[in-house]
């Protein structure tokens, strides 16, 4: 009835292979680097209307596919060049940061609520509740996420809300597994027994005694799912079934630039690098938080 009904649990609980590797490469500087990058991207997203040199939707068909400023044919008029419709690439990149951050954050929030709820119930009540929850997680893992997300978004329409909802409803498995295991550990501790002895209600024990003590683990998972949601959203947009043009979504920018990539490689290189930088930064922050949350693992 325990973990054996769900074989993925042990694997997800430990720091992932990637996390260990990143830690060995960046050490503790990783957290600072990641945090600095995220803050910079966040600032760029918030200040986009003031930072952007042009309107991200304004087309200028006389200035199509102008190369970036470091190219001989580039100019400071469009520092990162223009796309196939003559829109300023830097401005689109800045506004695109808003979409990626918004999708990453909201999807992680939704999946966090679902997964944590499921995991808390499974870990606290155990027995049959645990069996049902493990079964639900196993079923979710067996569904091919990209295909299901694509199909549902295609049918329901590719608005920002729908994409956020679909990603949020699909990416809760890790939250559930980790919350379940952490809750299982915490509920056997003395202070939970003490709370029960003083007559606290079950809801109070779960929300006020257990939840705050597993918060650290949840925040780390939230960073992982944020990175996941951003990559998955980019993949959906790239396949043409995520958010729709003319939104400056980074995945969509890669898709739109694909036709021109052989003669103007920067149109796909720039948004791709932006995605890569953001996801790497989120991963670094997640690893750093994991270290801060578990001082015993610091060596």
Partner 1 sequence: MLAFALKRLALALLVALTVSIVSFSLLRLSGDLAQALAGPSATAADVEAVRKAYGLDQPLWVQYLAWARQALHGDLGTSFFFKEPVAAMIAARLPVTMTLGVSALLFALLVALPLGILAALKPNSWVDRLALTLSVVGQALPSFWFALMLMILFGLKLRWLPISGTASWKSFVMPAIALGYYGMPTFMRLTRAGMMEVLASDYIRTARAKGLRAPAILLKHALRNAIVPVVAVAAVQLGFFLGGSIVIESVFALHGVGYLGWESISRADFPVVQAIVLVLALFYIVLTLLADLLNAFLDPRIRVG
Number of Cβ within 10 Å of residue 111's Cβ equals 26
Minimum gap (Å) between residue 124 Cβ and partner 1: 22
Which residue, 56 or 286, has its beta carbon nearer to partner 1?
286
Minimum gap (Å) between residue 201 Cβ and partner 1: 33
Asked if 225 and 288 count as a contact pair (C-beta separation under 8 A), the reply is no
List residues binding partner 1 (CB under 8 A): 4-5, 7-8, 11, 16-18, 20-22, 24-26, 135, 138-139, 141-148, 150-152, 154-157, 227, 231, 234-235, 238-241, 251, 254, 258, 261-262, 265, 268-269, 272, 275-276, 279-280, 283
Which residue, 205 or 278, has its beta carbon nearer to partner 1?
278
How far apart are the C-alpha atoms of 68 and 90, rounded to whole Å? 9
Minimum gap (Å) between residue 49 Cβ and partner 1: 27
How far apart are the C-alpha atoms of 216 and 294, rounded to whole Å? 9
Which residue, 191 or 276, has its beta carbon nearer to partner 1?
276
Which residue, 210 or 248, has its beta carbon nearer to partner 1?
248
Minimum gap (Å) between residue 274 Cβ and partner 1: 10
């Amino acid at each position: 009835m325990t973990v054996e009904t769900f074989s993925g649990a042990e694997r997800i609980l430990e720091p992932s292979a990637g996390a260990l590797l990143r830690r060995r490469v960046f050490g503790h500087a990783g957290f600072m680097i990641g945090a600095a990058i995220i803050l910079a991207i966040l600032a760029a997203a918030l200040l986009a209307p003031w930072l952007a040199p042009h309107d991200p939707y304004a087309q200028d068909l006389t200035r199509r596919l102008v190369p970036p400023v470091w190219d001989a044919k580039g100019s400071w008029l469009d520092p990162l060049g223009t796309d196939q419709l003559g829109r300023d690439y830097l401005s689109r990149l800045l506004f695109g940061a808003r979409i990626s951050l918004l999708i990453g954050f909201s999807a992680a929030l939704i999946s966090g609520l679902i997964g944590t709820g499921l995991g808390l119930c499974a870990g606290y009540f155990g027995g049959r509740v645990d069996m049902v929850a493990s079964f639900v997680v196993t079923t979710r893992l067996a569904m091919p996420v990209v295909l299901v997300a694509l199909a549902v978004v295609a049918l329901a329409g590719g608005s920002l809300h729908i994409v956020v909802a679909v990603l949020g409803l699909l990416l809760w498995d890790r939250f559930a597994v980790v919350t379940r295991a952490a809750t299982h550990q915490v509920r056997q501790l003395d202070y939970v027994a003490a709370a029960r002895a003083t007559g606290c209600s079950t809801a109070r024990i779960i929300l006020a005694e257990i939840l705050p003590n597993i918060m650290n683990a949840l925040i780390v998972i939230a960073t992982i799912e944020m990175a996941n949601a951003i990559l998955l959203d980019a993949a959906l947009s790239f396949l043409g079934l995520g958010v729709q043009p003319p939104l400056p979504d980074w995945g969509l920018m890669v898709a739109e630039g694909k036709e021109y990539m052989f003669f103007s490689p920067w149109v796909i290189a720039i948004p791709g690098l932006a995605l890569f930088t953001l996801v790497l930064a989120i991963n670094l922050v997640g690893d750093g938080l994991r270290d801060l949350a578990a001082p015993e693992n610091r060596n």
